[in-house]
Amino acid sequence: MGKKVLVIGGGIVGLSTAYFLKKAGHDVTVVDKSTMDYGASYVNAGYLTPSHIVPLAAPGVMKQGLKWMFNSASPLYIKPRLNPSFLRWAWAFNKSCSQANVDRSIKAIRDINLISRELFTEIRNENDWQFQLERKGLLMYCQTESMLEHEIELAELAQQHGLEAREVSMEEVRQMEPDCELDIIGAVHYACDGHTTPTELMQDLKSSLPVMGVTIRKQEEVTTIERKNGQIIRVVTDKSEYQPDEVILAAGSWSSSLANQLGLDLLLEGGKGYRINAHGDNKIQMPAILCEAKAAVTPMNGYTRFAGTMEIAGINHHVRKERVNAIAQAAKRYYPGVQIEAEEIADAQCGLRPVSPDGMAYIGRTAKCSNLVLATGHAMMGWSMGPATGLLISELISGQPTSMDLSPFDPDRKF
């Protein structure tokens, strides 16, 4: 028998969850405080990345972050603040930047991304949707020998875990990108990866879910979550109230403030990323990461997207021009002939990605509340992991065995 489920959050994770819950026969309502046409689900690089098996919290990351702390244009910018929740997160993040964290995370990150990659295809085919979905792989461009050596090591690690990855010669790169000039010394290719145009799939989901019977409430903010005897009994918004059987918390970077109402100390920070859409014919055919600059390049339908940076500076949508300019400058360093217009740089947008201290998502039930399921904290892989997260949550709600072990994503894990 279907349950009455309230999904809080209308990004890729929330809408994917609604999609699979409805397919499983549940009565689903999605509430989101935004207009559901901006944010991380719209400005990301559109990657499907089984290749990204190393979590954000890895050896050396905190040390590098401290070096970059006073450079607001750096690829990783952590703004120091005397905020108790941020200080707890920063302490836990520092502890998590270890080889042990990497070792215990790799398999789970790989598996959820591989499940999700296949679900993108399944969703597209089942519904005859036409959103861009390509499997050209992902190139890692390097301008220095030290970075190339590092990327080759990561590719070898990926190979050990069954992923298609290898160093490619400059001749092979030229065959993949025959029409644009590149200033690099070498590259690694992950054939296991794919890419999309995010706005296309988001529009398909927003248009089709109501037809399927999902109720979507935009510009409706959750104000109060009432709990009794370890169970949510009522969710109040600024426009209505709900008495669901199950609540899915998929509100991205805003999830921690809602979790706090239920006594959950959910360590989560918003990691801001930026995007520039360049509409000129830049002749770029391959998705790529500009490794030294930590920037991403994606040939999307109608434009080339340049994206990147991780800015931990609280919950806000303030666009820092110096960070946008850093992405544009990186693009021109690696692609000397690239054309990005001033108005395209001025039109840059940002989105907040929810980052847990260990770089692993929170997916699953919590002991603190019997009818609450968390689906947040995906860091830079929310887009790539979105459909798989939705399927896994649907399996949990339906009382079915999950498609993979969820223990690495346990919302109650300690840091």
Per-block mean pLDDT, blocks of 10 residues, the chain (415 long): 95 98 98 97 98 93 78 84 91 95 96 98 97 98 98 97 98 97 98 98 98 98 95 97 98 95 93 96 96 97 96 91 96 97 97 96 96 97 98 98 98 95
Task: State the sign of the Cα–Cα–Cα–Cα dihedral 280, 281, 286, 289.
Answer: negative
| Residue 174 pLDDT | 97
**Residue reference for tokens 């559109």:** 46
Q: 373-389 pLDDT, tens per residue?
A: 999 999 999 999 999 99
Tokens representing 283 are: 């002749």
| Residue 341 pLDDT | 97
Q: How many angstroms separate the CA atoms of 188 and 380, rounded?
A: 20
Contacts of 386 (CB under 8 A, 6+ apart): 11, 12, 13, 15, 16, 41, 116, 378
Cβ proximity of 192 and 165 under 8 Å: yes
Three-state SS for 125?
helix
Q: In sequence order, what E strands does 250-348 have?
A: 269-278, 288-290, 295-300, 303-312
Q: How many angstroms separate the CA atoms of 393 and 244, rounded?
A: 16
Domains, the chain: 4-409 (3.50.50.60)
- How many C-beta atoms surround the C-beta of residue 124 within 10 A? 17
Residue 294, phi-psi category: left (phi > 0), alpha (psi -120 to 50), beta (remainder): left
Q: Which residues pair with 192 in a beta bridge?
A: none
| Residue 5 pLDDT | 98
Residue 39, phi-psi category: left (phi > 0), alpha (psi -120 to 50), beta (remainder): left
Burial (CB count <10 Å: 0-12, 13-18, 19+), residue 99: exposed
Contacts 24+ apart (CB under 8 A), 202-210: 202/12, 202/15, 202/41, 202/42, 204/127, 204/129, 204/131, 205/15, 205/16, 205/19, 206/10, 206/15, 206/36, 208/127, 208/129, 209/15, 209/18, 209/19, 209/22, 209/30
